[in-house]
Amino acid sequence: MAKIMIQGTASSVGKSILVAALCRIFTQDGYNVTPFKSQNMSLNSYITLDGMEMGRAQVLQAYAAKMEPQVYMNPILLKPTSDKKSQVILNGKVYGNYTAMEYHNLKPKFKELLKDQFEKLENEFDIVVMEGAGSPAEINLRDKDIVNMGMAELVDAPVILVGDIDKGGVFAALAGTMLLLKEKEKPRVKGTIINKFRGDVEILKPGLKMLQEIIQKPCIGVVPHFRLQLEDEDGAVEFNKEITGEIDIAVIKLPHISNFTDLDALKDEQGVSIRFISSLEEFGNPDLIIIPGSKNTIEDLISIRKSGIEEAIKVYSTYGTVIGICGGYQMLGNIIKDPYEVETQIKEIKGIGLLDIDTSFEEEKVTTRVSADIISTKILSQFKKCSLSGEGNGLYGYEIHMGTSTCGKDSMPLFNIKEKNGMKVQYEDGAINKQGNVMGTYIHGIFDSIGFREYIVNYLRNKKGIEMKKSENYEHKREKELDKLADIVRSSVDIDEIYKIMGIKK
């Protein structure tokens, strides 16, 4: 089996998207490929078909390799719950909550597990495209590293080092990273890639030559700056604050916002603007308010309460449309109880009170893939008028939450779950108020389905007197964008050299 590892001079230099590009290129070339990132830190997570939790970046990479995402692609996921503590997800399940030092001391325990898992991949795939995290030059973490050079050494993987020229200082970043590597690590780096370049590459060439002389490593590609409609890298999301379209959707930027990939399909809708608001001054008069998921629902509720945003949402709900997803759904209710102190030491807090639901946190996390039908009569009465694609009222997504919510007499269920992790089931999810303008759900990814997304956007268009439009299949669009990504990287990077580095003769 061949392998290659993409490491970077820092977070957000484009490692994830380059791994996705290589996965698609090698797949196009006829190889059986898988992505692999031993440890990811992100609040954007995903649920596999068997109910396991993993990072979203590896999900996109799996799609690039034309595979169903599986948890071995990201064995360790860290989900920050505060500045000093994270929930550790090991092989798709909650392992525990640990401080940074506690987790650092756990790493040697995970090392053998990672090695064993990787050895299994060697028997199943032609190529494994590995991704590092942050930078290999974080010398304070080097002694117990399991995601950068430590992982590369563990499985004897060659490394390509990536730098982001758009930020400035790329030559210093690449040279400085090489300087801080141990002498035994430096030969493992086989070349560099300059990412996010704007301008004439001829002007860059003298710098590339000087860099090669300094670090004694060839530059094997200069990737141009590009914009494709693909998920943002975990640490590189741009929280836009401007209204750029005729439909203004405002998303509350919670301090512990999670799964903001829920909004990606909406972003791609024609004339739709997604902006994030974190202060009362930014609120404006949007066509739709979305309260997204949160890794710490209670603290985030307190935050928007203190900022005045909660009161603004209440006023807005008298004439506008509000949707809460997961943590945002919980916030919209009457009360949130945390009897086991799952999130904080606050055992009970009053909700925003726009949905007649009560929520209680449980000790066990729910992680399921689901498909559902809309059952709300408030939505179904308008659905046919606003949905033009003929996709029907079904939708799909996934649940990741600690709480359970129950509807009171002044709210009605929103969806009927008909399948969970591949099993036929029958239970209700979410809630909608009697007026039909405030709704919430535990289902992440609800806008990926054409029917519900098209209904919501056309409902907003219809209210403003704007012509309604058909929506495009999000998965088909993603496939086209991944092929475009592969074309861009194939034309700007010496792919034959990467095959040589991996020991594959072309």
Average of per-residue pLDDT values in the chain: 95
Rounding to the nearest 10 degrees, give the CA dihedral for residues 367, 373, 375, 379. 110
Query: What pLDDT score was predicted for residue 255?
Result: 94
**Lowest-pLDDT choice from 153-157, 327-331, 385-389, 459-463:** 385-389
Residue 238 has pLDDT above 90, yes or no: no
Residue 236 has pLDDT above 70, yes or no: no
Query: Residue 23 catalytic?
Result: no
Question: According to CATH, where is 3.40.50.880 located in the chain?
Answer: 247-473
CA distances from 331 to 97, 358, 359, 413, 470 (A): 23, 10, 9, 16, 32
Among 23, 219, 256, 444, which one carries the catalytic annotation? 444
Query: What pLDDT score was predicted for residue 122?
Result: 87
Q: Are strands 272-277 and 45-47 parallel, antiparallel or unpaired?
A: unpaired
Question: According to CATH, where is 3.40.50.300 located in the chain?
Answer: 2-230
264: its two tokens: 């990606």
Pick the CATH number of 2-230 from 2.40.30.10, 2.60.120.260, 3.40.50.300, 1.20.120.1200: 3.40.50.300
Taking the complete model, does pTM exceed 0.75, yes or no? yes
Q: What is the chain's Cα-based Rg?
A: 23
Query: What pLDDT score was predicted for residue 235?
Result: 52
Per residue in 36-91, pLDDT tens?
999 999 999 999 999 999 999 999 999 999 999 999 999 999 999 888 899 999 99
Class of domain 247-473: alpha beta
Query: What pLDDT score was predicted for residue 51?
Result: 95
273: its two tokens: 């603007």
Residue 174 has pLDDT above 70, yes or no: yes
Among 219, 326, 386, 407, which one carries the catalytic annotation? 326
Per residue in 347-403, pLDDT tens?
999 999 999 999 999 989 999 999 999 999 999 999 989 999 888 899 999 999 999
Residue 188 has pLDDT above 80, yes or no: yes
Per residue in 425-449, pLDDT tens?
999 999 999 999 999 999 999 999 9
Per residue in 288-310, pLDDT tens?
999 999 999 999 999 999 999 99
CA distance linking residue 30 with residue 23, whole number of Å: 11
Query: Residue 407 catalytic?
Result: no
